[in-house]
Amino acid sequence: MSYKTANKNTGYDVIVAVLCLTIAVITIYPMWYVLILSISNPNAVARGEVWILPKGFYFDSYKIIFDDFRMWRGLRNSVFYTVTGTVLMLITSSLAAYPLTRPNLKGRTAVVIFLLIPMYISGGLIPTFLVISKLGLYNTVWALIIPGCYGIWNIILCRTFFMTISQELWESASIDGANNYQIFLQIYIPLSKPVLAVIAIYTVVAIWNSWFASMVYQPNEVLHPVQMYLQRVLISQTLKLDAMKDLPLDQETRKWLLRKALTAKQLKYSIIIFVTLPIIMVYPMFQKHFVKGVMLGSLKG
């Protein structure tokens, strides 16, 4: 290799490394910023003095979170919704995708077209609300689970991966006397861990971060996920700070209320960290298969 070529490669590597480092900082810093705000002195946070490192460690907001049973109830509900919804999503996606790979399935093209239509054209919020109400799902845990237990895009993705599995494997197993259920469970599913990992992590993130569906379909606060708890805290603290500005209070009372408001305001940063940590911990579990799964269809051979 010539000196010019080696120098060019080195320059390219430096540019790529700087670009990756910049993207990493841009991605990580917002989370770091919220973390240091959640453990810094409320007065320093209010004055805008916290940027890189925390100032004056303060953990009372986390103590408030741990003592609030509503947060733990919401966390329990979120775990239930996420685990149940993800398992059902994997089952429905794989079961629907497998028959669509079989060339002897009559009307296979029509079924695929039928699936594609609702993927691009949605009925909207009101028809969905009416359907959920008529099915008796309104104000139940199933209002968040049943409508989200399948995904057209996930079915198409799973079907695409299944079609990359050698047809000879299916034929060999069929000759040996295996039926479709055995072939599906013993051959296709073990070979499909990458795509199933992708579907699982996308579903986990989507369900964990969801709060709007609960707001629409679950008036009962007992059923709310932890994201609804976070949403209520963010709104309530904003309203309290706005309302306090116009109250006719003496100086000492105003200072006391301001100190309480600053602590309550910092509470939202602590909740964001607490709610985000479980979903961050999920990624390493799927990392081995996730990279291969997201590259589905990009490489041949």
**Residue 4, pLDDT score:** 53
**Residue 178, pLDDT score:** 84
**Residue 177, pLDDT score:** 85
Per-position pLDDT tens, the chain of length 301:
555 555 556 777 888 889 999 998 898 898 899 888 888 887 787 777 888 888 888 887 788 788 888 888 999 999 999 999 999 999 999 999 999 888 888 888 888 888 888 888 877 888 889 999 999 999 999 999 998 888 888 998 899 889 888 888 888 888 888 888 899 999 899 888 888 988 998 899 899 988 889 999 999 989 999 888 887 777 665 545 555 555 554 555 555 555 666 666 777 788 888 888 888 887 777 666 666 555 554 444 3
**Residue 298, pLDDT score:** 46
The residue with tokens 């008036």 is 219
78's CB contacts (< 8 A; 6+ apart) are 207, 208, 225, 226, 227
The terminus-to-terminus CA distance of the chain in angstroms comes to 29
**Residue 245, pLDDT score:** 52
Compute the distance between CA of residue 158 and CA of residue 195 in angstroms, rounded to an integer.
6
**Residue 143, pLDDT score:** 92
**Residue 301, pLDDT score:** 39
Q: The pTM is what?
A: 0.80
Cβ-contact 202, 184 below 8 angstroms? no
Domain 60-294 has CATH 1.20.120.420: no
Report in angstroms the alpha-carbon separations of 53 from 57, 280, 285: 10, 22, 30
Q: Where are the domains of the chain?
A: 3-46, 60-294
